[in-house]
Amino acid sequence: MKLLLSLVSLVALATLTAPALAQSKPNVLFIAVDDLRPELGCYGNTVIKSPNIDRLAKSGMVFQQAYCQQAVCSPSRSSLLTGRRPDATKVWDLVTHFRTALPDTVTLPQYFKQQGYHAAGLGKIYHGGYDDAPSWSVPHWTPKTKELDTTKSHAYLATDKAEEQLPDGAVAAEAISRLKDYKKSGQPFFLAVGFVKPHLPFVSPKKYWDLYDPAKIPGGDSDTLPEGAPAFVGHDNGELHGYGNIPAGNPISPAVSRELRHGYYAAISYMDAQVGKLLDTLKAEGLDKNTIIVLWGDHGWQLGDHGLWHKHTNFERATHAPLIVSAPGMPNAGKTTPALAEFVDIYPTLAELAGLPQPTGLDGKSLKPILDNPSASVRKVALSQYPRSADGKPVMGYSARDTRWRLTLWRDRTSGATVATELYDEKNDPKESVNVAAKPENAAVIAELTRELDTAYANLGAPVPTTKNAKTPQKAATDRVALFNRKDTNKDDQLTYDEFMAGQPDPEQAKERFKKFDTNKDGKLSRDEFIKQGK
């Protein structure tokens, strides 16, 4: 009889322990917001109505200086979700999938899936049409609802549709259903929820428009590009002009500008209400005590600043975006930090917060030291980039932002030569009204920021040593990675014979090395051939 009771007790203990062990892993609610600049109450905006995101901020930490890798949807999201910069993902546009360049990369949700989490994506996580099936435990879910009955008929509209008849309301409803299912199953989850507002068109229910007096919504910083900036750094507001109720030509009139800003604010408040539904459900289901929450906007947005609308630049308004991290039991809940952060930092941060092994080969750094101490920092600069055409030639603008300055070097994508330089004093000229790169007294600033920028891009995805014994061979591997990146002037992830031979001190020996390294005899060196054969 005692034996029977012991067996029954063991079975009962196992039954109770299995869900408890599963839930010892913290869940992750990963909230992505499209085109959201830091226009929130928790970022100091006294006009915007964002009570739910502000509520999240009180339980987490607000990163006041967080920056995207490239101010447009797919490059930014690809970098964040892979932990790699655009020059590693090779995603600089809206038509390239990161797995073309990185077929075997493990994405952020995929990594959690490998660690025993159920990973699911709802709404806009990756850019539309470029989802990534390996990232998810189940197929990605997209709402069937439409905000406009006629595509691109309006850039802004106060609609009579109910919230759940619009994409973000439908996403929130599905997220609520998934959270309730997770509560029942007890399985740890990584739930990615993507909201499209405040992306154009600015369509939201009328009640959110009624929250605002348009006269109290602040205007743009300026109507023109900065003094001394190259003309090619801006754009013609083409995305905005694609909508039917936007008059042709630039600048956008004051009357239309007021409507657009009103619509943008209303869209933020509508999206904020959806975030509130998720927070309420977490609490109601008892999941809030064991769920890490991160909310981020994929990049900033220009509301007429420099005469520009939408993103697509390296300016502060386009690259600066909100980032809020909340974790159970965090010691500095409700605090803000001025520490610089990049979106490639989110991947390693979530891994560390969840107690998972730190992934290697990423370009980001964990922000946990800052969550533990808001005065700490993990990087000297935050980097962004954006491609352009200058005098008919493709150039890439590489931008480095420290606590005071923003340097942007425009480099020829074939030769690597710098064709233009911008420098803005963000402390004394936060509207970026004057490019001060030509001032002699700023030469040292430019030199230092250039070193920081070049060092970061020379070490893209360099593996991280996991033991002390790994340091010596790791340095050699890192040096080869840096050398390959410098020689790969057209950034196609392979070296031609001419690229390899450039700058070689002994051309004859270099010629023999090229033949040796070219193991598949295709006349080019892949990254692996160059690094492994050259050790």
CATH number of the domain to which 290 belongs = 3.40.720.10
- pLDDT above 60 (res 468): no
CA-to-CA distance for 199 and 168, rounded, in angstroms? Answer: 11
Q: Which residue has the higher pLDDT, 401 or 526?
A: 401
For the chain, how big is the Rg over CA atoms in Å? Answer: 25
Residue 370 falls inside a structural domain: no
* Mean pLDDT score of the chain: 89
Amino acid in position 300: G
Amino acid in position 215: A
Residue 473 falls inside a structural domain: no
Specify whether 398 is located in the same domain as 272: no
- pLDDT above 60 (res 259): yes
- pLDDT above 70 (res 476): no
Total count of residues recorded for the chain:
535
Specify whether 310 is located in the same domain as 386: no
Specify whether 415 is located in the same domain as 528: no
Q: Exposure pattern of 301-323 as b/e (b: 16+ CB <10 Å)?
A: bbbbbbbbbbbbbbbbbbbbbbb
73 among known catalytic residues: yes
Residue 435 falls inside a structural domain: yes
- pLDDT above 60 (res 241): yes
- What pLDDT is recorded for position 479? 54
Q: What SS3 class is residue 459?
A: coil
CA-to-CA distance for 65 and 427, rounded, in angstroms? Answer: 13
- What pLDDT is recorded for position 507? 46
Residue 207 falls inside a structural domain: yes
127 among known catalytic residues: yes
- pLDDT above 80 (res 292): yes
Active-site position among 127, 235, 306, 320 = 127
Q: What SS3 class is residue 262?
A: helix
Residue 267 sits at φ, ψ, to 5 deg, of -65, -35
Q: Which helix (H) or strand (E) holds 31?
A: strand 27-33
CA atoms within 13 A on the CB side of 138: 12
- What pLDDT is recorded for position 533? 65
Residue 149 pLDDT class (50, 70, 90 cuts): confident
What does the CA dihedral 496, 498, 502, 504 come to, rounded to 10 degrees?
Answer: 90
CB 399, CB 319: distance < 8 Å? yes
Task: Name the burial class of residue 349, with classes exposed (0-12), middle (13-18) and buried (19+) by CB atoms within 10 angstroms of its CB.
Answer: buried
Amino acid in position 422: E
Residue 393 falls inside a structural domain: yes
Specify whether 128 is located in the same domain as 207: yes
- Tokens for 403, please give them: 């606590």
CB 422, CB 233: distance < 8 Å? yes
Largest pairwise CA distance in the chain: 91
Domain that holds residue 411: 382-459
CATH number of the domain to which 418 belongs = 3.30.1120.10
- pLDDT above 70 (res 221): yes
- Tokens for 288, please give them: 């809030």
Specify whether 492 is located in the same domain as 420: no
Tally of CB atoms within 10 A around 134: 13
- pLDDT above 50 (res 477): no
- What pLDDT is recorded for position 6? 44
Active-site position among 73, 118, 310, 312 = 73
- What pLDDT is recorded for position 534? 60
Residue 341 falls inside a structural domain: no
- What pLDDT is recorded for position 520? 82
Amino acid in position 387: P
Specify whether 188 is located in the same domain as 251: yes
Specify whether 407 is located in the same domain as 304: no
Strands (E), 354-481: 382-390, 393-401, 405-412, 418-425
- What pLDDT is recorded for position 516? 78
Residue 253 falls inside a structural domain: yes
> Count of domains in the chain?
3
Residue 502 pLDDT class (50, 70, 90 cuts): low
Residue 509 pLDDT class (50, 70, 90 cuts): low
Query: Which residues lie closer than 8 Å to 333 by C-beta, 6 or more apart?
Result: 58, 59, 60, 61, 326
CA-to-CA distance for 409 and 419, rounded, in angstroms? Answer: 8
Angstrom distances, CA of residue 244 to CA of 157, 249, 281: 12, 13, 38
CA atoms within 13 A on the CB side of 105: 27
CA atoms within 13 A on the CB side of 252: 29
* 3-state per-residue secondary structure call for 162-230: CHHHCHHHHHHHHHHHHHHHHHHHCCCEEEEEEECCCCCCEEEEHHHHCCCCHHHCCCCCCCCCCECCC
- pLDDT above 80 (res 163): yes
Specify whether 154 is located in the same domain as 258: yes
- What pLDDT is recorded for position 494? 84
Specify whether 440 is located in the same domain as 403: yes
CA 465 and chain centroid, separation: 25
CA-to-CA distance for 410 and 421, rounded, in angstroms? Answer: 6
Q: Among 363, 391, 415, where does a domain finish? A: 363
Q: Among 363, 397, 427, where does a domain finish? A: 363
- Tokens for 276, please give them: 């509130």
Tens digit of pLDDT for each residue in 199-220?
Answer: 999 999 999 999 999 999 999 8
- What pLDDT is recorded for position 184? 97
Specify whether 513 is located in the same domain as 440: no
Residue 38 falls inside a structural domain: no
Query: Which residues lie closer than 8 Å to 349 by C-beta, 6 or more apart?
Result: 294, 325, 364, 366, 367, 368, 371
Specify whether 397 is located in the same domain as 503: no
Specify whether 519 is located in the same domain as 438: no
- Tokens for 217, please give them: 């919504």
- What pLDDT is recorded for position 126? 97
CA-to-CA distance for 413 and 172, rounded, in angstroms? Answer: 42
CA 245 and chain centroid, separation: 31
Tens digit of pLDDT for each residue in 277-291?
Answer: 999 999 999 999 999
